[in-house]
Structure 1
């Protein structure tokens, strides 16, 4: 794997349509977590440019991921129409149509994949731009006028809800660890590269501190699990790349320094970590023992009760569920304030992505969504084996997959803007690098006479 930027690839090709598409692509990545309006504009531009590029729709339809995406899209449309007709009120109808439209937006990963096909360096740029935009957004939300030492012992929720903030900082830290050599390689040898290593270390510390400040146990567990997988992958790849590692030995000297700083930061916040993991242990013990009648309505207890409610309500419509976005109304109409009422409000959702999908779309919907994710993961694995997916990016997608699978056990944000943009970026870049028929590089198309090429 080359660790340097391939400067032979132009930042944007000369064709007008492709120029618009790539402008939208970079605009979307830079503002995905920095500004919703410019990110939405970028997404619209890259999508319109994709359609204007006149892809081969037959070839597109033969791609397994695209085919499953289209099947899921058809299911969501039909499901929302039928459920809306069966809805008991106009409010429920509006909820189903709005929720269904939010789910349909997830299919926009397909246009993005087109602009990333066969371009690992472009994908690295996009991921780094997204991480930079997220970092700037966090810095913008900090109250610098009242900033002090107490900031590092309080929960930071000024930008995103804690568990979402923990997810993005955790994934950001893992991503920086994985693409470290590609990041360093962007700087010329000598003091600029040493400066690059320092910037990388500071950025990594920023992400890890954000993860700690989230005080999100679900994000911490997901991060620890994903980091364990990453350590195993890195260790397995160490022997094969031993010579290359030795050539970069002087840059590896910074890692023990970073490790010491991280350990010092963790020790300084040990009390916060211990407090979070020791809270509500009595509730967890009661659940494990099966003593559910006396479970407290604390964060752990509420999540458990929400799962019990999801089991009951899903059992009434196991195959097709109740409709997109209906869980909030179902919770409010449950008549179970002792189980689903959190201090002064009903739970906004079931705090579990898998339970939400079952309640909204039933077993059929969950199967289709799981199949799409599986096909994307499987195509990425095959691309890695075939050498089309660089090793560092392959590790990132696998580690992110593990992280998100665990994180989804504790929360639900699929149709929120931050999650929507995350899915489009990650699923789109993965599909583009996996070499699907619907994600052919524009340059490769033109050279091979592919019908997806610009005309």
Structure 2
């Protein structure tokens, strides 16, 4: 598989609509985490070009992922309109309608998928550009005038909330590991290739250091789980490779670099890591012993109490929930400051994505959203077996799925702009590759496959 961009696919094709779509696509990827306004413009342009391009609507209607998306769109619209009409106040009705609109934006991954169909090299380029945009955004937010060694012992929250920053740096590190050959391949052999490998190593260290600086235990646990899976998948791919000198060299390089980076970071910041994992063990033990009445209102205790509140609130409306975006108002109206008040403010959400979906949309909404993610993942596996999804990208999507599933146990950020762009980019590229328009060549078929196949 070529590790460079497919030069037979021109960046600016002759067709005007396609040119507009690709311009929006690359604009969205570069500025997704660097600038909200240009990223939104890019998303609007690629969506408009998708409509003007006149896709095969009948074929789209037969796609299981698109069908479920349409069902979910209908559910969100009807659900929001009905519950807004039943809301006890105009403020609650406005919250539900606005929240429903935010959830509907997630379906914009379908237009993006159109521009990635059958283009794995384009997808690799988009993912690397998105990681580059995120890196530039972080560098821009660092206070370089007062920069010093103390920076590496403090929590970095100047760009995103800590747990969100930990999520994107963790996913960035996983992506840089998986797409290493796609990055190296942009440099010619010899001295330039060594320069590329060096830049890659520094980029990886940057992401890992950002993950540590987030001091987010949820992000750390998610990264550990996803990295463990990725190691297994990479090792199986390496074991299946035969007579590939470049592959052997790649693995001889990547394992020491990643291992030394993780070990070095842990040694330098052992005190911070140890403190974060031990400072609330008393609360964890109280919860494990069932002594819930004495649980303190520390970060762990607040999350536990929020889950208890979510259970009680959801049980009142188990099937369809209370409406999009209502959890913040429900918490503020709960009359439980001892359980849901964090120092000087009410909890902004339930700190658990699954609990949020149950409270907002009920069991029906959770089933529909789970079905969409499951169908999208299953189509990815089928695309791998059919030769449309390259193995390296398959490993990234699988590791990212595990990371996000674990991370969602600790926080909720679905309707935020950063999560919206993340979902549209990752789900859209996966869906596009899962339904590629082009028949893969024999070489691509041999090098593609399931996430556990060799690369």
TM over 0.5: yes
- Secondary structure of 2:244's aligned partner: helix
Aligned structure 1 segments of 4 or more residues deviating by more than 3 angstroms = 245-248, 250-255, 439-444
- Secondary structure of 1:116's aligned partner: coil
| Residue correspondence of structure 1 range 281-360 to structure 2 within 5 A | 281-360=281-360
Partner of 1:26: 26
In the alignment, the residues of structure 1 paired with residue 131 and residue 408 of structure 2 have an alpha-carbon distance, to the nearest angstrom, of 21
Q: Which range moved further: 315-324 or 1-10?
A: 1-10
| Residue correspondence of structure 1 range 405-444 to structure 2 within 5 A | 405-435=405-435, 440=437
> Aligned in 2, Cα 1:416/1:442: closer, same or farther, shift over 3 Å?
farther
Deviation by residue 1:215-252 (Cα, 9 ceiling, x = unmatched): 00000000000000001101111122142255652783
How far apart are residue 443 of structure 1 and its match? 13
How far apart are residue 58 of structure 1 and its match? 1.5
Deviation by residue 1:255-311 (Cα, 9 ceiling, x = unmatched): 425533442232010000000000110000000111101000000000000000000
In the alignment, the residues of structure 1 paired with residue 52 and residue 267 of structure 2 have an alpha-carbon distance, to the nearest angstrom, of 55
For the 8 Å contact 2:388–2:440, the answer to whether it is kept is no
In the alignment, the residues of structure 2 paired with residue 145 and residue 67 of structure 1 have an alpha-carbon distance, to the nearest angstrom, of 52
Partner of 1:180: 180
How far apart are residue 10 of structure 1 and its match? 1.3
How far apart are residue 6 of structure 1 and its match? 2.4
Partner of 1:60: 60
Partner of 2:149: 149
- Secondary structure of 1:49's aligned partner: helix
Partner of 1:202: 202
- Secondary structure of 1:290's aligned partner: coil
Partner of 1:450: none
How far apart are residue 2 of structure 1 and its match? 3.0
In the alignment, the residues of structure 2 paired with residue 442 and residue 104 of structure 1 have an alpha-carbon distance, to the nearest angstrom, of 32
> Aligned in 2, Cα 1:86/1:283: closer, same or farther, shift over 3 Å?
same
> Aligned in 2, Cα 1:87/1:247: closer, same or farther, shift over 3 Å?
closer
For the 8 Å contact 2:318–2:362, the answer to whether it is kept is yes
1:159 aligns to 2:156 (yes or no): no
Partner of 2:453: none
Partner of 1:383: 383
Partner of 2:138: 138
> Aligned in 2, Cα 1:339/1:245: closer, same or farther, shift over 3 Å?
farther
For the 8 Å contact 1:114–1:440, the answer to whether it is kept is no
For the 8 Å contact 2:238–2:247, the answer to whether it is kept is no
Partner of 1:17: 17
| Residue correspondence of structure 1 range 101-120 to structure 2 within 5 A | 101-120=101-120
| Residue correspondence of structure 1 range 73-84 to structure 2 within 5 A | 73-84=73-84
For the 8 Å contact 2:5–2:122, the answer to whether it is kept is no
How far apart are residue 321 of structure 1 and its match? 0.2
Deviation by residue 1:178-225 (Cα, 9 ceiling, x = unmatched): 111121112111111110000000000000000000000000000000
How far apart are residue 3 of structure 1 and its match? 2.6
In the alignment, the residues of structure 2 paired with residue 198 and residue 369 of structure 1 have an alpha-carbon distance, to the nearest angstrom, of 41
Q: Which range moved further: 11-20 or 421-430?
A: 11-20
For the 8 Å contact 1:115–1:441, the answer to whether it is kept is no
Partner of 2:272: 272
> Aligned in 2, Cα 1:261/1:360: closer, same or farther, shift over 3 Å?
closer
How far apart are residue 316 of structure 1 and its match? 0.3
Partner of 2:189: 189
RMSD: 1.6
> Aligned in 2, Cα 1:100/1:257: closer, same or farther, shift over 3 Å?
closer
For the 8 Å contact 1:116–1:441, the answer to whether it is kept is no
Q: What is the count of residue pairs matched by the alignment?
A: 441
Deviation by residue 1:368-427 (Cα, 9 ceiling, x = unmatched): 000000000000011111111001000000000000000000000000000000000000
Deviation by residue 1:156-192 (Cα, 9 ceiling, x = unmatched): 0000000000000000000010111121112111111
How far apart are residue 361 of structure 1 and its match? 0.2
In the alignment, the residues of structure 2 paired with residue 250 and residue 83 of structure 1 have an alpha-carbon distance, to the nearest angstrom, of 55
How far apart are residue 9 of structure 1 and its match? 1.9
For the 8 Å contact 1:153–1:272, the answer to whether it is kept is yes
> Aligned in 2, Cα 1:247/1:254: closer, same or farther, shift over 3 Å?
closer
Deviation by residue 1:142-164 (Cα, 9 ceiling, x = unmatched): 00000000000000000000000
> Aligned in 2, Cα 1:251/1:359: closer, same or farther, shift over 3 Å?
closer
Which ranges of structure 2 fall in alignment gaps of 5 or more residues?
442-455
